[in-house]
Homo-oligomer: A and B are copies of this chain.
């Protein structure tokens, strides 16, 4: 096989220098002459009926251009990723604090704020539903319709009752995971303007094409009269998959014809954006006396808050990945998506899997302890591997499953682990733990194609048009690398235009770790279309069959000869094409081959490929304060093929630190639907000082269908971190916590209980 030259190389992303130099102009930095400033009047009530709204005083305030309410929405007054259950502007029912009641567009932000205060509203309060388990009861007040149960994902495999009857060991625990905030560095923001009859919105987003469809529905416009262009985006992590400012900006610009700008405050961002689902997970595991898993039964209760957002998808993912990366012959999983009046939960890096992994991986350690084998042995014994059947009945293609990552992480960690206890003090105890994971690449059993257009220009440079939004994860870089590799040019030869619904094809969401795999395949196919034309030309030039020619370093070579002897610059081949009037352009698209899950059994083929990974963490616990310090993380992840090893390292490091925050710091606290931690002084995220030594270890077992063997990576390294830390906590001080985050208070309380 031809050795790769651009794929696999740590080229420097093109946006790096501008970002580190502060030159990048994010949405909030864009100034358009005459633009209006838009603010939203938001409900302070979590559940109620909007009885009246009087904008008469607000609209007459000097400097106010317009005040819009539900009646001003020309199209469908609803939006949502999976269900359209969220109003653009509340017409009748308020379902959460922060629900939008009216928008003001004014000459300055200050005037807009003043006008908000002049809007008079009357709300009839309703009882607040804030506990998801209470919400499931038939006598609970409902948030939408007749039941708060939005969905139930069932997975059935084998005979779970029999498994528990036959089991030597049964471990059953209830786990609780908290609501997590994405805490992206850039809050929601955008600008809008008319370009002829097209409403253009430049916005911080993860999915321009979805946004365009939503805004078009809300504005009652054809989709191609709404153009969403992704502005440089300061992080998303799933939270910018929901529309935020988009439809309000569209409304203002459509109503006034004027440009507009809207920027969330940090508090608004925390209160109003979707979050990671808080869950209650009842996890029951059956094993034989050797530690071999016989059965897993899970009940998971996931609080989606007031609106569904991406909700059902993470809950499905939680269920699909409920057994962890292990072969379990008998499975029964019921995962519920539950409406409450809490803040909406939607997509968040990991999509439900970090929650269930926190449970699954602790269960495994507990069984290993009972059996008397090591955490590694129980994992190696049970791992999914080639031809294993998942809980949904899918046959695994990976040969080793977690085997290779786990061995790699352990080999790297071993020397350090061996020294770990030696460095303990009387009050500072140390331990290590591991967490393993698997994660399906792409949307779960649903079509989720992506497209690409490509233009191989006369001088051998390339224009690549893709829908994939790069919100910092680096998709534009890796997609350029894939195009460059296939066309045999250099990374810097490829210019990517991404995520502009006016000119790029739909790439689907930048979520579910899918873009490198799916848009990557679309790019590959587009490049192959063009390359075929050049291969034909090269075949004529060299008088050899096209399949003996390789493209590399801006040249075509005959593969089985001394390359210097038989080599031609690609620009000459393009020139040959041009002389014949052949355009070197192409399109490509890709959709992974999946089968939708059966509603009753979950049987199906949810993903084309799975990524496997293992993390080993070392921690130190201060038994006087209860504080956990994570010292080191050895994170080994199978990415199939690292397109850009430096970016893979960065993804792993970023995910580990976000997973560390999830494990020990971060928690959105709520009281009756109200967030009591709406700032970074009350909602703590890890800082540079909390950063452990992270050893990222890249494992590459190529997938069958990913471009150059790629598997999804974006989320994977967040998945097992919290579980590994929880297992390390037990190793350090013999305490097992079943509730995230692992706060000093919980540690101290458990220590106290233990000592009693």
Contacts and interface: CB of A to CB of B under 8 A. Distances in A.
Interface of A: 14-15, 18, 196-198, 213, 216, 222-225, 447-451, 453, 455, 457-459, 461-463, 465, 493-495, 497, 500-506, 522, 529, 578-583, 585-587, 589, 591-592
A448 B224 contact: no
Given A463-B501, A505-B583, A585-B587, 8 more contacts: A14-B196, A223-B459, A224-B457, A225-B461, A225-B495, A447-B579, A465-B503, A495-B502
Of A198, A450, A458, most buried by chain B (CB within 10 Å of CB) is A458
B580 A589 contact: no
Of A18, A462, A495, most buried by chain B (CB within 10 Å of CB) is A495
Nearest to A450: B583
B505 A459 contact: no
Contacts of A213: 458-459
B453 A581 contact: no
Contacts of A465: 453, 503
Contact of A223 (B453, B457, B580): B457
A505 B462 CA distance: 11
Given A459-B223, A463-B224, A503-B503, A198 B495 contact: yes
B447 A505 contact: no
A488 to B, nearest CB: 16
Nearest to A500: B503
- A-B pairs, top 6 by smallest CB distance, nearest first, are A581-B591, A447-B581, A583-B589, A224-B461, A503-B503, A224-B495
A517 to B, nearest CB: 13
A496 B585 CA distance: 18
Contacts of A500: 503
Query: Oligomeric state, in number of copies?
Result: 2
A459 B587 contact: no
B222 A503 contact: no
Contacts of A589: 582-583, 585
B587 A586 contact: yes
Contacts of A15: 196
B582 A461 contact: no
A346 to B, nearest CB: 22
Contacts of A501: 463
A222 B587 contact: no
Nearest to A495: B224
Given A458-B223, A506-B583, A14 B197 contact: yes
Contacts of A450: 583
A529 B585 CA distance: 14
A581 B494 CA distance: 27
A435 B578 CA distance: 37
A462 B224 CA distance: 7
B451 A585 contact: yes
Of A198, A224, A497, most buried by chain B (CB within 10 Å of CB) is A224
A448 B223 contact: no
A462 B589 CA distance: 17
Contacts of A495: 198, 224-225, 502
A493 B455 CA distance: 25
A503 B499 CA distance: 12
Nearest to A197: B14
A75 to B, nearest CB: 12
Nearest to A522: B583
Given A198-B495, A497-B502, A585-B589, A459 B579 contact: no
A442 to B, nearest CB: 10
A581 B448 contact: yes
Of A223, A462, A493, A494, most buried by chain B (CB within 10 Å of CB) is A223
Contacts of A18: 196
A497 to B, nearest CB: 5
A463 B503 contact: yes
Contacts of A580: 447, 591
Contact of A447 (B196, B453, B462, B578): B578
Contacts of A582: 449, 589, 591
